Amino acid sequence: MTASPKSSLLTVDARTKKRNAAEKRFKAYGIVAIAIGLMFLVVLLTSILRSGLPAFTNTVVALEATVTQEDYDAAEGQLLKTAAYEALLVAKVNEFLTAQGSTIEVDEDFITDRLVPKTGATIREFYKANPDQIGQPVTFNLPASTRISRYFEGDLLREDVTDSRFLMVEDLDVVDEMIAAGLITTAFDWNFITGTDTAVDNPGGAGIGASVIGSFFMMIVVLLLALPIGVAASIYLEEFAPKNRLTDLIEVNISNLAAVPSIVFGILGLAVFIQFAHLPQSAPLVGGLVLTLMTLPTIIISTRASLKSVPPSIRDAALGVGASKMQAVFHHVLPLAMPGILTGTIIGLAQALGETAPLLLIGMVGYVAREYPDGIISGFVDSNSAMPAQIYTWAARADTGFYEKAWGGIIVLLVFLLTMNLIAILLRRRFERRW
Amino acid sequence: MSFIKTTASTLAITAISATAAAARDNVQVAGSSTVLPYASIVAEAFGDNTDFPTPVVESGGSSAGLARFCEGIGETTIDVANASRGIRDGEIEECAANGVTDIIEVRIGYDGIVFASQIDGPDFTAFTPSDLFNALAPQVMVDGELVDNPYTQWSEFNADLPAADILAFIPGTKHGTREVFEEKVIAVGCEETGAFEAMMEAGMSEDDAEDACLAVRTDGLSVDIDGDYTETLASIDANPNAIGVFGLAFYENNTDTLKVATMSGVEPTTETIAAGDYPVSRPLYFYIKGAHIGVIPGLKEYAQFFMADELAGPDGPLAQYGLVSDPELAATQAKIEAEEAM
């Protein structure tokens, strides 16, 4: 008779222990790797949000002005009309200061250069659009200069201010009076989302709107060209093409093309579309064509993968009931592969949306996104920038106000990218079939 | 089938829009990144103050801008090239070969090039061309002999300078600024220290010696910056001992992080540059394609607006931004009015 075992038959020998320990270690490495990755993500996101969120608000100065017909005519008669409108605010600010019991008197330079620089265009446009307001008191909410808004937000301290053409120490007395009277406030800056690019000395008025439109038209070009060409190429290669050396060569080259650095496509675009075909410089059409070249391999590869994942039984069944090869592909295989194709396309578009390098070469940096297009055709062919190129341009400008705008632009770009990726995920969840 | 239809209609749309591109109503400008800020200020004001559309101003560098300017005439080529140096003879020939002949040269004003360092860094407050030559040339004079540059600290050749390691961020060779830096600083230092004569005595021809004078050391103490001034600023931020080369306007925008050095005892300000006292300055230009005047709406008006007293004058927004206005502004205005080609 044998004694019944007291515990499990399994005795863990040294070798098994070692293997188990190795597995545990490997799991720990994995967790550490994920933690490091997450940490970088958190650091990245917080730094983007911290630097970029201020771009969505601006410091506005509420200034009341009464522009008479004579003022209006006099200003319109000048070469630099916008500066003349700014100068009209001087009297009102001085009236305000006297009413506050202050003895300070400001001059024209204070308004036009240091308090609310480059805001004359806003005032001029208002009166051109509302001529009935001439002679009436109107309150304008004008964006304050970078330094005054930093002072208002507490980022710039009085003792750090040295007299310069941007800000004089004595200006702060006036600003303090205005803050006390509630004239200076922080407001959500719609202009940042809807506005156009501005000149280098006017960070307060800059907006990303025009370049969002530029990106939009570029994406339309990419979608209209890359999707049909990419899908047609993949269907042919996957379903119809004979397997021979030529198609093998094509396949290898498509995979290689996907790995080509995007700047190469930029040089190609410059040489072919602009210098040879004489398409307009810095046009979203050209940008879209260049990005199409870049996106095509991505779309072809993902489309072929989704066509491949449709089981052969579907094709066989269709052919079995007498469908032609084309009918089998278009009526049965393609609809089933569609979710995968769309996901691949959206991911490709998102990649193209964030691409900067090729746009640098086709003239999209500088002072380009300065106006909205007039219409659909103008949207394709008139000079415009794109979001990543606009961010790049802002980051390179000397005024620190633009640096903040660049971070804000990154947030807008990220929102678009996240939305596109979210749509891709939803489409896949909704329509994906498992076999 | 529907895919073929879509593709065909897309191509048709593309073709139509390409044709529509032939009617351009805005002025197109490209070129020097030093002139870009001024041009963008003018372009914005031009759009705000006139009924013409806002001109497009692209950056890319003087040489690239002039190359595109010389590509030919027609609406797909640019109308104005910005340059931080004068147009070269070779470029004029290139232009002429492509049918670009009536070129109007407009001098906007002057730009100063300053040497700046971290505001809390070592005391770099006064330089002479000789100091910079001694610090940055590959071969310098030591005890009357031309030797490979032995210096690693500023105080080794000039006791007035701080005992800090030499590190300079200078504009890369594709920048117009580099040329001014070479001609007005390094070449001058080369002659002042006697290195030029020593090279001639060593049997070099005058041209070779001049070229050799412009070289900078390649042992890592002098770093070329091919990007813009923001990149130089970032490098200065990371290296407390370094000095960097900036445009006056850029420095004035960043006085809270940078301090500037005098050159041969002269402080760089718009006044000293206008008076010609500060030695390291250069004229800025733009070039107008004569054949486009009257074809592209607003081209001549843009040039006139640019050079008007209200903009390019000493009290205008360009001077505000750091441009040193040209004392001969009236002559330039007359030149544009008469469309006087080179």
Tell me the CATH number at A419.
1.10.3720.10
A200 is a domain residue: no
Q: Do A162 and A237 fall within a single domain?
A: no
Q: Is B309 exposed, middle or buried (0-12, 13-18, 19+ CB in 10 A)?
A: middle
The domain containing residue A279 runs over which residues? Answer: 209-431
- CB-nearest partner of B41 from A113, A199, A225: A199
Predicted TM-score of the model (pTM): 0.80
Pairing of strands B56-58, B28-31: parallel
E-strand stretches of A155-216:
184-188
Per-residue model confidence (pLDDT) at position A18: 92
pLDDT at B246 over 80: yes
Give the span between the Cα atoms of A104 and A429, in whole angstroms: 67
Chain B residues within 8 A of A280 when measuring between CB atoms: 21, 24, 76
Per-residue model confidence (pLDDT) at position B120: 87
A14 is a domain residue: no
Q: What's the mean pLDDT in B232-257? A: 87
Q: How close is the nearest chain B Cα to the Cα of A256, in Å?
A: 25
* Closest to B41 (Cα-Cα) out of A18, A121, A30: A121
A194 is a domain residue: no
- ipTM for this prediction: 0.83
Interchain contact, B256 vs A282, CB within 8 Å: no
- Cα angle value A245/A250/A252 (rounded, 5°): 95
Chain B residues within 8 A of A229 when measuring between CB atoms: 7
Q: How close is the nearest chain A Cα to the Cα of B52, in Å?
A: 12
A26 is a domain residue: no
Q: Do A90 and A231 fall within a single domain?
A: no
Interchain contact, A199 vs B26, CB within 8 Å: no
* Closest to A114 (Cα-Cα) out of A93, A140, A139: A93
Interchain contact, B18 vs A198, CB within 8 Å: no
A45 is a domain residue: no
| Assigned token pair, A243 | 């397997």
Q: Do A358 and A325 fall within a single domain?
A: yes
| B252 touching chain A per CB within 8 A | yes
pLDDT band at B247 (very low <50, low <70, confident <90, very high): confident
Q: Which of B59, B120, B233 would best serve as a mutation to test chain A binding (most A beta carbons within 10 A)?
A: B59
Give the span between the Cα atoms of A263 and A281, in whole angstroms: 17
pLDDT at B190 over 80: yes
pLDDT at B12 over 90: no
- CB-nearest partner of A363 from B4, B41, B58: B58
B104 forms beta bridges with: B288
Strands laid side by side in the A137-143 sheet: A137-143, A57-66, A184-188
Among A156, A188, A220, the domain-final residue is: A188
Q: What is the pLDDT of residues B70-92, one digit of tens each?
A: 988 888 889 999 998 889 999 99
Give the span between the Cα atoms of B193 and B214, in whole angstroms: 14
HEC profile for B288-329? Answer: EEHHHECCECCHHHHHHHHCCHHHHCCCCHHHHHCCEECCCH
- CB-nearest partner of B57 from A83, A228, A367: A367
Tell me which amino acid residue A142 is. L
Tokens 């805005």 map to which residue? Answer: B26
Q: How close is the nearest chain A Cα to the Cα of B227, in Å?
A: 9
Per-run averaged pLDDT (10 residues), chain A, 435 residues: 64 89 96 98 94 90 87 86 85 84 83 85 88 88 87 85 79 88 90 91 89 94 94 93 91 89 89 87 92 93 93 94 94 91 91 91 88 89 92 86 91 94 88 74
A147 is a domain residue: yes
Q: How close is the nearest chain B Cα to the Cα of A26, in Å?
A: 39
Q: Do A262 and A355 fall within a single domain?
A: yes
| B333 touching chain A per CB within 8 A | no
- CB-nearest partner of B17 from A199, A371, A380: A380
Identify the H or E element spanning A81: helix A81-87
Identify the closest residue of chain A to B233 by CA–CA distance: A398
Interchain contact, B40 vs A199, CB within 8 Å: yes
Chain A residues within 8 A of B18 when measuring between CB atoms: 277, 279, 285, 381
Q: What is the pLDDT of residues B279-296, one digit of tens each?
A: 888 889 999 999 999 899
Chain A residues within 8 A of B3 when measuring between CB atoms: 228, 231-232
CB–CB contacts below 8 A, A to B: 145
Tell me which amino acid residue B317 is. P
- CB-nearest partner of A278 from B76, B249, B256: B76
Identify the closest residue of chain A to B46 by CA–CA distance: A80
Identify the closest residue of chain A to B57 by CA–CA distance: A367
| Assigned token pair, B177 | 């600024």
Q: Do A238 and A295 fall within a single domain?
A: yes
Pairing of strands B243-247, B168-171: parallel
Interchain contact, B250 vs A82, CB within 8 Å: no
Give the span between the Cα atoms of A190 and A359, in whole angstroms: 27
The region, left, alpha or beta by phi > 0 then psi within -120 to 50, assigned to residue B141 is: beta
Residues B66, B92: contact at Cβ < 8 Å? no
What is the total count of domains within chain A? 2
Per-residue model confidence (pLDDT) at position A168: 83
Chain B residues within 8 A of A381 when measuring between CB atoms: 17-18, 20-21
Interchain contact, A124 vs B48, CB within 8 Å: yes
Q: Do A258 and A391 fall within a single domain?
A: yes
Interchain contact, B10 vs A228, CB within 8 Å: yes
User: How far lies B181's CA from each of A38, B215, B283, in Å?
Assistant: 47, 11, 13
Phi, psi for residue B272 in degrees, rounded to 5: -70, -30
pLDDT at B1 over 70: no
Q: Do A341 and A310 fall within a single domain?
A: yes
Per-residue model confidence (pLDDT) at position A39: 97
Q: What is the pLDDT of residues B19-53, one digit of tens each?
A: 444 467 889 999 988 899 899 999 999 998 999 99
Q: Do A422 and A322 fall within a single domain?
A: yes
Chain B residues within 8 A of A164 when measuring between CB atoms: 252, 255
User: Integer distance in angstroms from the first to the last C-alpha of chain B?
Assistant: 59
Interchain contact, A367 vs B40, CB within 8 Å: yes
Q: Do A179 and A231 fall within a single domain?
A: no
Residues B82, B323: contact at Cβ < 8 Å? no
Q: Do A228 and A141 fall within a single domain?
A: no
Interchain contact, B78 vs A281, CB within 8 Å: yes
Identify the closest residue of chain A to B1 by CA–CA distance: A330
Counting residues of chain B whose pLDDT is more than 90, the rounded percentage is 27
Q: Do A114 and A213 fall within a single domain?
A: no
Per-residue model confidence (pLDDT) at position B318: 87
Among A188, A223, A243, the domain-final residue is: A188
| Mean per-residue pLDDT of chain B | 85
Structural domains in chain B, CATH included, are: 2-111+282-337 (3.40.190.10), 112-281 (3.40.190.10)
A5 is a domain residue: no
Helix extents (H) in A277-399: 284-308, 312-320, 325-327, 334-353, 357-361, 376-381, 387-395
Per-residue model confidence (pLDDT) at position B196: 86
* Lowest model confidence (mean pLDDT) among A198-202, B9-13, B49-53, B257-261: B9-13
Q: Do A318 and A258 fall within a single domain?
A: yes
Helix extents (H) in chain B: 2-20, 36-49, 62-69, 89-97, 129-136, 176-181, 187-192, 195-201, 206-213, 229-238, 248-253, 270-274, 299-306, 309-312, 317-321, 329-337
Phi, psi for residue A403 in degrees, rounded to 5: -65, -45
Phi, psi for residue A81 in degrees, rounded to 5: -65, -40
- Cα angle value A377/A379/A383 (rounded, 5°): 115
Give the span between the Cα atoms of A283 and A378, in whole angstroms: 9
A237 is a domain residue: yes
Per-residue model confidence (pLDDT) at position B19: 47
